[in-house]
């Protein structure tokens, strides 16, 4: 059984990602989380065959009376930093709505971001995809990557 984690705070996008993974990978166990704190706890508790990560994430879950979570434009990098500190090589796919990822104060276009992340964090990022709600291009690209796993 394949163990897959999706880290995404938008429920529509999360549902779409879940459906794409389930259609491409047979016998899959899915876990979904929506914030940095929960994602870091989750990767500390379990190893994954694949982690799909959004870059912009809230800092912590929304709790009634707990205040608004901080929006972190590079929250996904916090998860990659945690994987790096754990010396883990879980394969990761980044799906983000931003055309660039900021790493160590430098902006990298998505086409170069996977290599930059490997250089800075030693993480196994196998793809960085640009999410566009009204496009199927990112879905086709993700499905193609998933079929190679």
Q: Which two tokens stand for residue 82?
A: 């945690």
Confidence category of residue 72, pLDDT binned at 50, 70, 90: confident
Q: What is the H or E stretch that residue 140 is in?
A: helix 137-147
* CA pair distance 137, 87, nearest whole angstrom: 33
Q: Could you give the angle at the alpha carbon of 100 between the alpha carbons of 131 and 22, nearest 5°?
A: 30
pLDDT band at 71 (very low <50, low <70, confident <90, very high): confident
CA distance 121 to 62: 29
With cut-offs at 50, 70 and 90, classify the pLDDT of residue 16.
very high
- pLDDT score of 42: 98
d(CA 50, CA 92): 6
Total-model pTM: 0.93
Q: Residue 64 — pLDDT band, cuts 50, 70, 90?
A: low
For the beta carbon of residue 80, count every other beta carbon within 10 angstroms.
27
User: CATH number for the 2-147 domain, one of 1.10.150.530, 3.30.2350.10, 3.40.50.2300, 3.30.930.10?
Assistant: 3.40.50.2300
Q: How confident is the model at residue 113 (pLDDT cuts 50, 70, 90)?
A: very high
């Amino acid at each position: 059984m394949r163990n897959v984690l999706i880290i995404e705070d938008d429920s529509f996008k999360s549902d779409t990602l879940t459906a794409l993974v389930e259609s491409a990978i047979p016998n899959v166990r899915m876990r979904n989380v929506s914030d940095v704190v929960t994602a870091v706890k989750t990767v500390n508790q379990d190893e994954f065959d694949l982690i799909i990560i959004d870059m912009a994430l809230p800092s912590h879950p929304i709790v009634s009376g707990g205040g608004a979570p901080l929006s972190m434009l590079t929250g996904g990098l916090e998860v990659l930093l945690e994987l790096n500190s754990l010396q883990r090589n879980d394969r990761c796919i980044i799906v983000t709505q931003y055309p660039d990822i900021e790493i160590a104060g430098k902006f990298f276009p998505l086409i170069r971001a996977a290599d930059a992340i490997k250089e800075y964090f030693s993480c196994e990022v196998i793809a960085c995809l640009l999410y566009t709600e009204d496009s199927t291009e990112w879905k086709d690209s993700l499905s193609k990557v998933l079929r190679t796993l």
